[in-house]
């Protein structure tokens, strides 16, 4: 683990025992401001979309400085370098290869905003290099990569925050506290959904040479080699199995995470899924535009629904979670949460509510969930406490999302052994648990 001016031996107890450990220091912030020596210096790997949004959020904190940017698209890299200069008057170093960025001893942390198929390699190597990590969701592009990334965070004792930022939102926590209060009664079904009207079909276009300034081989990395196609590049990588898992992993991890949090659940026993390209069967996407998955946990069912080019999901919300209890249903989304009580009947006529009624709770005006999430990350870098969405929390959501995709792709009801992270008696499903990296890239060993 590299030593910088912000890292030194702090474990005096272990030192006295002859087993000193290398741990990052707490970064001190002063009420009057932050001196240059106390800055938290971050680098960004993949700075076109959410990678730069995460950086922008981090830079709203006085103690954070951008020291480096990395991207395989030279045009994006230059544009973001200028953006950082305009925002901070600091000129970050620029890199085309993330491995060179990780060798920069002045960086305390890295933001990983690359396509999903890159997350595992870059996060594991960042932890190994002694950096804390803010990794965009989903944690990984496979079940096995999720396991490795959790192991890396533990082995190298790093602070790792995954970008499922609802975990930092106060109204989400209030809703979950109400779920845990027991007032809803026994919860037997939880519905989770994402209906994305803003996602249009992807038109078919022919393969072509990679744009000038794009290191396409590096962009592919461990993914299978294939000709460049603009449909697979930048934002639309999400809709191709080589790089991501479609809407299930793009939005599903946000929403399924809330289900797992509320139900204090980890692994389902079985999953069945059905759907396909039902809205636009002839467009260029591989992943389904319409999908319903049924997860059977020990004592409740989770129903996941997704659709593109449709806005009105359950409860007339584009996204959300509905905890359906015997006494009532709690519905929560990014705008707030509310209760729908069940009626108590006598002689088939309603006579009362089964639970208290209360007005809807709106998300606090002006609050930015992403800013709250990055602030939690920075605070945990200082205190060395675990963040609200650490690698383990991110892994639970990612794995459950991948299980739904695997059930869909195999066309079978699959049975999951959560303790061993394998499917029972299903070779086709187990073949999708671990990715096949294209040479010379190798799946990390932790």
The closest alpha carbon to 62, from 389, 384, 378, belongs to 378
Alpha carbon distance 70, 112 (integer Å): 10
Beta-carbon contacts of 174 under 8 Å, excluding residues fewer than 6 positions away, are 337, 361
Beta-carbon contacts of 185 under 8 Å, excluding residues fewer than 6 positions away, are 325, 326, 327, 328, 354, 355
Provide the CB-side half-sphere exposure for 421 (13 A, CA).
16
**142 domain residue, yes or no:** no
**C-beta of residue 193 within 8 angstroms of C-beta of residue 259:** no
The closest alpha carbon to 364, from 382, 337, 343, 383, belongs to 337
Q: In the beta sheet, which residues pair with residue 95?
A: 70
Q: What is the model's pLDDT at position 36?
A: 56
**68 domain residue, yes or no:** no
Q: What is the model's pLDDT at position 345?
A: 84
**11 domain residue, yes or no:** no
Pairing of the two strands 109-112 and 132-135? parallel
Q: What is the model's pLDDT at position 439?
A: 85
**363 domain residue, yes or no:** yes
Per run of 10 residues, the mean pLDDT along the chain (length 446 residues) is 32 31 31 58 96 97 97 97 96 98 97 98 98 98 98 98 96 98 98 94 96 97 97 95 97 97 98 97 96 98 96 95 98 97 87 89 87 97 96 98 98 97 97 95 96
**28 domain residue, yes or no:** no
Q: Which helix (H) or strand (E) holds 415?
A: strand 414-417
Q: Which helix (H) or strand (E) holds 189?
A: strand 187-196
**143 domain residue, yes or no:** no
Q: What is the model's pLDDT at position 38?
A: 78
Alpha carbon distance 431, 435 (integer Å): 8
**159 domain residue, yes or no:** no
Q: What is the model's pLDDT at position 348?
A: 83
196 is in which domain, residue-wise? 167-430
Q: Compute CA distances 9 → 92, 104, 242, whole Å.
A: 28, 20, 42
The closest alpha carbon to 110, from 128, 91, 86, belongs to 128
Alpha carbon distance 410, 405 (integer Å): 9
- Provide the domain count of the chain: 1
Residue 379 maps to which CATH number? 3.30.360.10
Pairing of the two strands 109-112 and 187-196? unpaired
The closest alpha carbon to 329, from 177, 189, 193, belongs to 189
Q: What is the model's pLDDT at position 37?
A: 59
Question: Which parts of 281-386 fold into alpha helices (H)?
Answer: 369-383
Q: In the beta sheet, which residues pair with residue 55?
A: none
Q: What is the model's pLDDT at position 83?
A: 97
Alpha carbon distance 87, 116 (integer Å): 28
Q: What is the model's pLDDT at position 207?
A: 97
**C-beta of residue 86 within 8 angstroms of C-beta of residue 78:** no
Rounded to the nearest 5°, which phi and psi values hold at 394? -60, -35
**299 domain residue, yes or no:** yes
Total-model pTM: 0.90
Q: In the beta sheet, which residues pair with residue 276?
A: 290
């Amino acid at each position: 683990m590299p030593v910088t001016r912000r890292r030194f031996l702090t474990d005096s107890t272990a030192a006295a025992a002859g087993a000193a450990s290398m741990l990052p220091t707490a970064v001190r912030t002063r009420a009057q401001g932050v001196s240059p020596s106390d800055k938290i210096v971050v680098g960004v790997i993949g700075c076109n979309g959410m990678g730069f949004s995460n950086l922008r959020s981090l830079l709203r904190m006085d103690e954070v400085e951008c020291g480096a940017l990395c991207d395989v698209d030279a045009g994006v890299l230059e544009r973001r370098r200028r953006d950082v200069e305009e925002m901070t008057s600091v000129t970050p170093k620029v890199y085309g290869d993330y491995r060179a960025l990780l060798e920069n001893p002045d960086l305390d942390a890295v933001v990983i905003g690359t396509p999903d198929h890159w997350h595992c390699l870059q996060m594991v190597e960042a932890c190994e290099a002694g950096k804390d990590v803010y990794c965009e969701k989903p944690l990984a592009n496979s079940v096995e990569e999720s396991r490795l990334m959790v192991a890396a965070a533990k082995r190298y004792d790093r602070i790792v925050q995954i970008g499922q930022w609802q975990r930092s939102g106060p109204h989400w926590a209030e809703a979950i506290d109400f779920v845990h209060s027991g007032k809803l009664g026994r919860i037997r079904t939880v519905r989770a959904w994402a209906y994305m009207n803003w996602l249009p079909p992807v038109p078919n276009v022919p393969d072509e040479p990679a744009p000038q300034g794009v290191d396409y081989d590096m962009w592919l990395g461990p993914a299978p080699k294939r000709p460049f196609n603009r449909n697979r590049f930048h934002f639309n990588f999400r809709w191709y199995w080589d790089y991501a898992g479609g809407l299930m992993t793009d939005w599903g991890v946000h929403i399924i995470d809330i289900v797992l949090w509320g139900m204090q659940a980890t692994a389902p026993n079985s999953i069945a899924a059905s759907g396909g390209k039902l809205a636009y069967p002839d467009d260029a996407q591989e992943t389904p535009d319409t999908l319903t998955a049924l997860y059977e946990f020990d004592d409740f069912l989770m129903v996941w629904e997704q659709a593109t080019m449709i806005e009105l999901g359950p409860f007339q919300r584009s996204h959300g979670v509905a905890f359906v209890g015997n006494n009532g249903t709690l519905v929560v989304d990014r705008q707030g949460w509310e209760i729908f009580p069940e009626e108590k009947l006598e002689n088939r006529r309603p006579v009362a509510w089964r639970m208290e009624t209360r007005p809807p709770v709106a998300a606090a005006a002006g609050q930015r969930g992403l800013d709250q999430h990055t602030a939690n990350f920075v605070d945990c870098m200082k205190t060395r406490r675990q963040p609200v969405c650490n690698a383990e929390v991110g892994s639970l959501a990612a794995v459950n999302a991948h299980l739904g995709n695997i059930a869909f792709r195999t066309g079978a009801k699959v049975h999951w052994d959560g303790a061993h992270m394998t499917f029972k008696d299903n070779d086709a499903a187990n073949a999708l648990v671990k990715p096949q990296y294209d040479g010379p890239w190798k799946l990390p060993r932790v």
